Amino acid sequence: MSHPVKIKNALISVYYKDNLEPLIRQLHEQGVIFYSTGGTEKFIRELGIDVIAVEDLTGYPSILGGRVKTLHPKVFGGILNRRENKEDKAQIGQYEIPEIDLVIVDLYPFEETLRSGASDADIIEKIDIGGISLIRAAAKNFNDVVIIASKDDYKTLGDILTDNGGYTTLSHRKAFARQAFNVSSHYDTAIFNYFNQEDPLTVFKYSEQKARTLRYGENPHQNGVFYGDLDAMFDKLNGKELSYNNLVDVDAAVALIDEFEEPTFAILKHTNACGIASNESIVEAWKAALACDPVSAFGGVLICNREIDAETAAEINNLFFEVLIAPSFAESAKQILTTKKNRILLKRNDVKLPSKQFKTLLNGVIEQDKDMLMETAAEMKPVTERKPTEQQVKDLVFANKIVKHTKSNTIVLARNSCLIASGVGQTSRVDALQQAIVKAKAFNFDLAGSVMASDAFFPFPDCVEIAADAGVVMILQPGGSIKDQESIDMANAKGVGMVTTGIRHFKH
């Protein structure tokens, strides 16, 4: 069942030559005959090792600017022939086709070229034809052929050949074939998504090569994996590995903080802000954010949009937290914050985030555009007799940013660019408002002069009445209810102001 095969002939044609030399020398020592093209052929010759040019095998030169080099029966016949098939064996003998037992081929750097901002013409030229065909052919015939489609597998093959005297087993070859199809399918997905930007087909294709196994999923009995390049997103300066729940909270924290330009600090628990404030200095923003709800802040995820200095670090150090994210950390701050080994410190890098989001649901996947809208003061339409002051407009903008990133149904109460309290994930808007009022009172916040933002319209005027009686003086809501006028009338009767935006920010 192991079906050992000794490598006699190898076709090698790669774009990246990194770490190729040791494998070439090892194969040469084992008596392998090399076939190659272009730069790889030159590379092998410069090692002082004999190599047969593919054009000498096929009798055809590389043509069409290198677009056609290996697409020939003498190449693909050598790869695809079934060694145990008498007719195949007779035909390769008749046409003098060598059996190719090993194919080492990678692909033109399509994704790298795309990310570089190259022209469409340059991007198109990086769509590999010969390479992808060789990979598929060799992987299909894994019963007899080894396929290496990535430089990451050079050492693995070398170790196998060392341990097995130049032979590979069927399980070895099948594993390499699996990896090869992983490479080819990822490559094709990237190409398809490039072509699918204008007037796109409604299909879902996503491929991510990098993966990180997590300690567990949402709960210890669930497995968890993160697919993506976390190392590009963050430099981890301290702490244990991020968990599934950490990552969900970190994602929510990043999305929230990106709404703010002024110095802002946010504390999140279970993806919702339990404290957030903007101030002239980051240390004052931290103090104000913590004061919102110091109980929920325990064990939270912290994020800010300015460097953490020593003064701020000393204040933060008094709290137990899971994760702290910032664009940079002063050395003095790191010395303070790294005294606890499990505390996770993440320096955020400048990485472009996706504009789409998706998740599995029922027996499929749902996808949507990210909610990229955020209303400015100019888009807030006063609908009551009382109009907002300049400070109230500023607070409404602040509160609305929090609403956008808080689980529905939600109500946010704020004053002076600081969260007072929020009602989160409630089954009615009245419940959300009452929850926010109870929390505000629990931490001795005076609601007099505060503003309120709602993620959706008021179906009845009850929320307006309750908020006004609690001390709220200005309300923001999307509007759009058939009973909007009742809410407006209640606001006027209570002497509070209201603006509408026309934009709903549900977050389920």
Q: Which residues are identified as catalytic? A: 140, 270
β-strand pairing of 146-148 with 102-105: parallel
List all residues 6 or more positions away from 199 whose beta carbon is below 8 Å from its beta carbon: none
Cβ neighbours around 41 below 10 Å, total:
19
Cβ neighbours around 167 below 10 Å, total:
16
The packing angle between helices 154-163 and 21-29, to 10°, is: 20
Question: 500, 475, 505: which is closest to 490 by C-alpha?
Answer: 475
Place of tokens 């996808």: 367
Contact predicate 433/467, CB 8 Å: yes
Nearest 5°: CA angle at 71, between 65 and 72? 125
Six token digits for residue 419: 């969260």
Contact predicate 26/50, CB 8 Å: no
Alpha helices in 21-167 (DSSP H): 21-29, 38-46, 54-58, 73-80, 86-94, 110-115, 120-125, 130-140, 154-163
Contact predicate 347/336, CB 8 Å: no
* Strand order through the sheet with 321-326: 234-238, 344-348, 321-326, 300-304, 264-269, 272-278
Six token digits for residue 205: 């294709």
Question: 143, 168, 338, 150: which is closest to 237 by C-alpha?
Answer: 338
Whether omega before 349 lies within 30 degrees of 0, making that bond cis, reads: no
Nearest 5°: CA angle at 258, between 252 and 263? 115
Question: 197, 119, 184: which is closest to 356 by C-alpha?
Answer: 197
